[in-house]
Amino acid sequence: MAPMCEPIQIEMCKDLGFYNVTRMPNILGDRRQYDAHLELAMWKSLIAYGCSSRLSFFLCSVYVPMCSDMVPQNIGPCAPLCEDVKARCFPVMEKFGFRWPIALECSKFPTENNDVHMCMKGPDPTGEDHHQLHSYGWRRFTDRGVNVPTKPTKPYRHRYSQHYGLCNKYKVESFYYINGTGRCTQTCDSEVLFSRVNKNFAEIWATVWSVLCFLSTLFTVSTFLINSSKFHYRERPIVIISGMYNVYSIAYIIRLMAGWKEVSCHVDSQHGVPILIQESLDNINCTIIFVFLYFFRMASDVWWVILTIMWFLSVGLKWNNEAMQRRRIYFQMFGWSFPTLKTIAILLLRVVDADELTGTCYVGNQSPQNLLGFVIVPSFVYLIIGSIFLLTTLYYILKSKYSPALHTHHRNNCCRVEKLDILTARIGIFAVFYIVPALCVLTANFYEYYSRDKWLAAGSNSRPNVDVFMLKIFMSFVVGISTGPWICWSKNALNTWKEFYNRFNGNERPMSMYIHESGEETTVQKTSSV
């Protein structure tokens, strides 16, 4: 069902006299009238010059097209109207290095209003349309307050055609001002913070660690799936974390296979040049990689917190496996709800952006505010909560170590207690180890948040330390890589693969049982039949 018609809110287009309602998104894809207003504001100086009396109507018919409840499509301008306006106004624009926007190419509009394609012919031209170009045209950009010299040089015209003076705070010229986002973004081929050598090495570096992470986590998850009954419930968060990192590594592999530009770039309709994606969901490759990287990384952090909680419940409060399994619904809700809500919020706010170094899509790569709100703060909170549970559990362990009750176990239970202690130790070591890479990644993100504006500032010689970003890439995979050796630590892994191999090759032999009685204890043992 098409959206309802809404009154035109933009002052410039309210009193056209032809129509007074519109429907969003418009022909160019702007979803709000506010976005269309930003686009139209850039044309005020040309309208004030008066190159065409029909320019205002043409622009309004594009950015806030006519809406009718009887027609499901927006009604925009006809091609002859566009051609007439372009013929009169483009020479003025060309004098200052401005290009006619690709999005407004006249061939995109219907040639005439008929039963197949409806369009508006607009008002008839007036005698004022025959004004001649005066000297060098505009004296100032009235909508932005940017003064233009009487006889600008070619580089000066080029700079203002890119960003209208709004990106002068950056030390390089490779930035374009995007009306839709109200921010500046760099071109795809530019080397703003990182050189081509840095990018090539980062690609090789990420390839090595992502492949190792994929193989290690695949082994961990496969071992669990072959015989999940051998895993205690409190071990399962580690398996889930391994699965999260498996998908995380797949995202990098997809990026490497798809290509740098195919993921992180798109052609801007305003300037007609390929730019690094900023607050956009137009590139499906970029969106998929963002979801894989952000959701599963945040889910991994949350499940690590759950792991520390389970460790605390097991060691500190003496909960058994069955008690924790009965509460699994709460663990599941906590583990999946927070990453899901944050991911949906980012997609709705359209703040996904591309990273210049790796060519991947995440959030906060170009916006320090988004980096702080969606990455640094949540990661810091998870790290604090998990650390509190870890320290509390370690306190209980140290307390029980010197407790006299520790030495009163019955002799018959010694073996069971020893195995339980080994399992507890394995889980605890993994939980503590997780802190190191998480803290390194958090520190690298804070380093970028604190320094990014300095790196880009005009007149600044400050550059990012590439080693910090390479360490961040490595630490982003090291937890996943460690899950393979962790699961090999258990004898269950070796036995699981042996049993799987025997079943697969049909070598599984029937088992005989005999009963051995010793006093009051009865033991059932299985041996291979000879």
Which pLDDT does position 515 carry in this prediction? 36
| Residue type at position 426 | R
Low-confidence ranges of the chain (pLDDT < 70): 1-2, 127-165, 180, 280, 401-421, 490-495, 497, 500-530
Would strands 21-22 and 175-178 be described as parallel, antiparallel, or unpaired?
Answer: unpaired
Tell me: the pLDDT tens digits for 402-442? 655 444 444 444 444 344 467 788 888 999 999 999 999 99
CB 241 within 8 A of CB 303: yes
Q: Judge contact between 239 and 221, C-beta under 8 A.
A: yes
CA distance 267 to 274: 4
Half-sphere exposure of 182 (CA within 13 A, CB side): 8
Going by C-beta distance under 8 Å and a sequence separation of 6 or more, which residues neighbour residue 469?
A: 202, 357, 444
Tell me how far apart the alpha carbons of residues 335 and 241 are, in angstroms, rounded to a whole number: 11
Tokens of 316: 């500190």
Residue 89's closest CA among 35, 62, 125, 38? 125
Q: What percent of the chain has pLDDT over 70?
A: 80
Using a 10 angstrom Cβ sphere, with 0-12 exposed, 13-18 middle and 19 or more buried, the burial of residue 326 is exposed
pLDDT at 415 (0 to 100): 40
Sorted by sequence, the CB contacts under 8 Å of residue 48 that are 6+ apart come out as 142
Give residue 128's pLDDT: 55
Q: Is the sign of the CA dihedral 388, 394, 400, 402 positive or negative?
A: negative
Closest CA to 18 of 31, 29, 8, 6: 8
120-142: pLDDT as tens digits: 888 887 755 544 333 333 333 33
Q: What is the CA radius of gyration of the chain?
A: 32
CA distance 329 to 345: 24
CA–CA distances in Å: residue 1 to residues 4, 72, 118: 9, 8, 19
- State the pLDDT at residue 291: 95
Q: Report yes or no on whether pTM surpasses 0.85.
A: no
Q: Taking a C-beta distance cutoff of 8 angstroms, is the pair 106, 140 a contact? A: no
The answer to whether 523 and 275 have CB atoms below 8 angstroms apart is no
